[in-house]
Amino acid sequence: MIRQADPFLKSAFIGLFAVVLASSGCSKKQHLAASSSGRNELRVMTYNIHHANPPSKNGYIDVAAVAKVIKEQHPDFVALQEIDVNTKRSGLNEAAQLASQTGMNFYFAKAIDYDGGLYGVAVLSKFPLLDGRTISLPTLPGTKGEPRVLAVAEARISDNKTMLFASTHLDAQKDDQNRLAQIRVIVDSLSKLNGPIIIGGDFNATPESEVVKILDQHFTRTCVTGCGNTIPQINPKKTIDFIAFRGDDKLKVTSHKVIDEQYASDHLPVVATIGF
């Protein structure tokens, strides 16, 4: 169950965040995996799921296909983008369904009201979620950009350790101006928090962009060169989906890969293992 007012976030986020809380009712078991070196590891995924609409099937919703992709990778955390909640086109709460079908807990962050329901980003966690916050990201006047958000959830990964995990989806317009404003708010807001933070998302920006350069000034991406393209799902041409972390010198990347899954979405999922 996600609590509404844990002190660690309340002081840092007050006045900045609109809270949208949800709990999945799934198992709250803790899930730590020890590597052969004796280190603990977290397996993290970021996945833009295209509202669970396979690109090859116009108008068809296949949440089970997305859940299958997730389960096959055995992640501890998943950053999800393009999530429908009770829209007419999808007809269900995709965040809750994915949590139920993967046996994980979830936090959904609304970006906009859409098609009779909600649309935004979400976090899945195999750990108990203690708190969640939604930060609204700026859209500059006159740009006609779609509102975007950052979801931040606190998970208890062991008896004496918590982890912040975030999911975001930046502006998709050709010009960088909204993305630049959005990434600055993200790094500024997260810099106010203590402790380790992992973020995953569709940044709609390539590695050489100013947007990703700003991300890199404050976070360590799980892969910097030769990482594999993530969009489109067939013959992908661009890398715009990233996982990054900050706030703990013990966090180290032990693996990073792009999953060649061409049916469920127009993006390929990214999975990284982070030791701590």
Q: State which residues of the chain have pLDDT below 70.
A: 1-39
* Beta-sheet pairing, 161-169 with 197-202: parallel
What's the pLDDT at 7? 36
pLDDT value, residue 39: 55
Residue 49 tokens, joined = 């799921």
Which residues, including other chains, have CB under 8 Å from residue 141's CB and lie 6 or more apart? none
What CATH code would you report for 7-24+37-275? 3.60.10.10
Closest CA to 176 of 201, 213, 150, 151: 213
Give residue 217's pLDDT: 98
Spacing of C-alpha 2 from chain mean position: 17
Domain map of the chain by residue range?
7-24+37-275
Say what angle helices 177-191 and 210-218 make with each other, to 10 degrees: 10
Q: What is the pLDDT of residue 4?
A: 33
Model pLDDT for residues 193-228, shown as the tens digit of each residue: 988 999 999 999 999 999 999 999 999 999 999 999
pLDDT at residue number 167: 99
Each residue's pLDDT tens digit, 139-169: 999 999 999 999 999 999 999 999 999 999 9
pTM above 0.85, yes or no: yes
Q: Report yes or no: 137 and 149 within 8 Å, Cβ to Cβ.
A: yes
